[in-house]
């Protein structure tokens, strides 16, 4: 059996010093081109060649110790680099990769595919002494001298010590090892729920930024222990996360002394302008954030307790801990990990706003009142009114009976997209039915129920009762009774041919249609059966009419339901 021996004591110097290491070029198993002189020796580096093969038992037993030595010399980042050369012509890059992955070796390696045999030939052919098999280690100094064939080497810590001395003899200097540690910690809200996506900035010997996971935990490895650091948490996204008009209700009660905050974090959350106290101006700023004005808050999106942590060193340091407070969210409903709105609602009955449905004609200016069906005591509401911007042009918003409702409660900046954000509250417990009115100019004809709705596009749709229930809010359309159906004549004025009578009716019925001239004469009479309630389109022949104004009467059971006028040109 072939005896495997590793030689590493400096032996035969007379032969080796007389023969400088020849240059070689190889392609590593990972595809990198390596030049011994240009990449290493000419750069002042010492190179350690590892001669091995993938299944070699001594090579595998010694590999972990060799890996530790590589770390001691800086993992290739200092004065020393290791290169592994496979000695078998039938082994491939895959064999080299398998061997190095098995032992966690990160230095370059090459097989016969990459030119390892040519590179190692001087060391196996007797140029520097007798080659006695694998593993063999060759040390080449920056001056190209070779340390080779060291008798008495053992595959243990003593052998590593011999290698370490031989590398040092080339003039290589070890990178000073700095004691490091892994620093861990957490960021939570007042309910001890982790806050994700918080950036923690470590300023000191080196500047490091780490981001908390969804559970609020963070870990920073390899921090020098004896260095000082300042740790600052920061999260400035989704300013409206968890911030609603109900928070304004609670802030208002605190300011008036009706219900004082019970926790200091509520004061911090309410202090939107960083004044150190809670004032009406904070309500103004937070309302602007709710309405989506997008100018931000002086306090940012989140504040943290403490704001920073000063660390003189990392010796005997316990886990770092921060408490996060969402600005504007005094009832602690913000989603701590995500960016989305996460308000919790009660099981109380939702509140509906009502608008009387009607058919609007292009060019018509219409005022649309919003109301609730019965008088109720509301603390506040917020929502987004969506309207079809192709059909309606917003002209204004008018106050009706609710107090403290004006321009500051409304954001019309997004009207070109058909969105109006609203946020209102009042602590006087007034009983209301009529809320406000919107005035539009119709640019296209259509039914209001197809052109308006309430959504959470900008401001989440919800209302607040005097019992502090947070309930959903929606928009309902009241249909006109049969005795008052919606009616429109389109087109109007009429030039020729047939026009249409548009009706929106709530129940089936037989109708009579009368066309009357301005002299009071009945020109046409015909019947129309309403087969299905809702919008009806009834054609009206007008081609034989002279120029002038005409009246259309819609009747049921002999009673007039609606009347409309049109002009024939």
Q: How far, in whole angstroms, is CA 78 from its chain's centroid? A: 40
C-alpha R_g of the chain: 42
**CB contact at 8 A, 46 and 170:** yes
DSSP codes of every residue in 250-288: HHHHHHHTSS--SSHHHHHHH-TT-SSS--HHHHHHHHH
At a CB cut-off of 8 Å and minimum separation 6, what does 265 contact?
190, 305, 323, 325, 332
Q: Report pLDDT for 91.
A: 96
At a CB cut-off of 8 Å and minimum separation 6, what does 402 contact?
424, 426, 430, 432, 434, 435, 436
57-112 pLDDT tens trace: 999 999 999 999 999 999 999 999 999 999 999 999 999 999 999 999 999 999 99
Q: Report pLDDT for 338.
A: 57
Q: Report pLDDT for 149.
A: 67
How would you write 108-153 as a 3-class SS string? CEECHHHCHHHHHHHHHCCCCCCCCCCCEEEEECCCCCEECCCCCC
Fold of 351-478: Immunoglobulin-like (2.60.40)
Q: Which CATH class, in words, describes the domain spanning 486-568?
A: mainly beta
- The segment(s) of the chain belonging to CATH 2.60.40.1930 are 486-568
Nearest alpha carbon to residue 418 among 447, 433, 446, 440: 440
Q: Which is it for the CA torsion 266, 271, 277, 281, positive or negative?
A: negative
Which residue pairs, CB below 8 angstroms and at least 24 apart, start in 37-43? 37/144, 40/81, 41/140, 41/141, 41/142, 41/144
Alpha-carbon distance of 93 to 114, in angstroms, equals 8
Strand 229-234 relative to strand 309-311, pairing: antiparallel
Q: Which CATH class, in words, describes the domain spanning 13-168?
A: alpha beta
The first and second tokens of residue 569, run together, are: 């040109």
At a CB cut-off of 8 Å and minimum separation 6, what does 282 contact?
251, 270, 271, 272, 273, 275
Alpha-carbon distance of 556 to 88, in angstroms, equals 104
Q: Which residues of the chain have pLDDT under 70?
A: 1-18, 149-155, 294-296, 338-348, 399-400, 479-485, 506-508
Residue 486's CB is within 10 A of a number of other CB atoms, namely 21
| Exposure string for 181-217, b = 16+ CB within 10 A, e = fewer | eebebbbbbbeeebbbbbebebebeeebebebbeebe
β-bridge partners, 86: 52
Burial of 425 (0-12, 13-18, 19+ CB in 10 A): buried
Is the model's pTM score more than 0.75?
no
How would you write 423-452 as a 3-class SS string? EEECCCCCEEEEEEEEEEEECCCEEHHHCE
**CB contact at 8 A, 269 and 244:** no
- The segment(s) of the chain belonging to CATH 2.60.40.680 are 351-478
208-211 sheet: strands from edge to edge: 208-211, 199-204, 229-234, 309-311
- The segment(s) of the chain belonging to CATH 3.40.30.10 are 13-168
At a CB cut-off of 8 Å and minimum separation 6, what does 196 contact?
212, 213, 214, 215, 216, 336, 337, 338
């Amino acid at each position: 059996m072939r005896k495997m021996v590793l030689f590493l004591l400096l032996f035969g110097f007379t032969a080796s010093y007389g023969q400088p290491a020849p240059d070689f070029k190889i392609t590593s198993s990972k595809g990198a081109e390596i030049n011994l002189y240009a990449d290493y020796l000419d750069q002042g580096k010492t190179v350690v060649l590892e001669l091995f093969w993938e299944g070699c038992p001594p090579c595998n037993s010694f590999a972990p110790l060799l890996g530790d030595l590589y770390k001691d010399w800086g993992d290739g980042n200092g004065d020393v680099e290791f290169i592994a050369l496979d000695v078998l012509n039938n082994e491939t890059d895959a064999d080299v990769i398998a061997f190095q992955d098995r032992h966690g070796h990160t230095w370059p390696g090459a097989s016969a595919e990459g030119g390892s045999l040519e590179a190692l030939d001087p060391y196996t052919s007797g140029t520097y002494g007798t080659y006695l098999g694998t593993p063999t280690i060759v040390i080449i100094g920056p001056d190209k001298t070779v340390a080779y064939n060291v008798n008495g080497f053992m595959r243990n810590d003593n052998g590593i010590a011999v290698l370490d001395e031989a590398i040092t003899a080339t003039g290589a200097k070890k990178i000073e090892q700095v004691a490091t540690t892994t620093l861990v910690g957490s960021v939570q809200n007042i309910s001890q729920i982790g806050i994700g996506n918080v950036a923690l900035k470590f300023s000191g010997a080196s500047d490091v930024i780490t981001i908390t996971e969804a559970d609020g935990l963070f870990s920073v490895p390899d921090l020098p222990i004896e260095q000082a650091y300042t740790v600052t948490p920061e999260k400035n996204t989704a300013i409206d996360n968890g911030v609603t008009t109900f928070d304004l209700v609670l802030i208002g009660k605190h300011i008036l002394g009706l219900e004082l905050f019970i926790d200091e974090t509520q004061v911090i959350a309410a202090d939107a302008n960083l004044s150190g106290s809670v004032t009406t101006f904070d309500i103004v700023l937070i309302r602007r954030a709710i309405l989506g004005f997008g100018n931000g808050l002086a306090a940012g999106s989140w504040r943290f307790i403490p704001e920073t942590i000063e660390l003189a060193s990392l010796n005997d340091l316990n886990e770092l801990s921060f408490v996060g407070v969402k600005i504007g969210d005094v009832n602690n409903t913000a989603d701590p990990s995500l960016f989305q709105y996460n308000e919790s609602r009660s099981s109380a009955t939702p509140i509906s706003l009502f608008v009387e449905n009607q058919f609007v004609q292009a060019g018509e200016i219409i005022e649309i009142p919003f109301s609730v069906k019965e008088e109720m005591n509301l603390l506040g509401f917020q929502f987004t009114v969506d309207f079809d911007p192709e059909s309606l042009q917003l002209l204004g918003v008018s106050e009706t009976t609710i107090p403290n409702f004006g321009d500051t409660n409304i954001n019309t900046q997004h009207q070109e997209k058909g969105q109006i954000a609203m946020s209102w509250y009042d602590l006087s417990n007034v009983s209301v039915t009529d809320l406000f009115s919107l005035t539009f100019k119709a640019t296209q004809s259509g039914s209001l129920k197809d052109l308006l709705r309430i959504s959470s596009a900008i401001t989440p749709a919800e209302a607040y009762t005097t019992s502090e229930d947070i309930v959903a809010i929606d928009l309902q359309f009241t249909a006109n009774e049969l005795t008052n159906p919606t009616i429109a004549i389109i087109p109007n004025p009429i030039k020729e041919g047939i026009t249409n009578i548009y009706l929106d009716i709530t129940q089936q019925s037989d109708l009579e249609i009368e066309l009357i001239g301005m002299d009071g004469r009945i020109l046409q009479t015909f019947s129309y059966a309403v087969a299905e309630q809702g919008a009806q389109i009834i054609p009206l022949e007008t081609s034989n009419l002279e120029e002038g104004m005409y009246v259309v009467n819609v009747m049921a059971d002999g009673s007039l339901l609606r009347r409309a006028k049109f002009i024939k040109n």
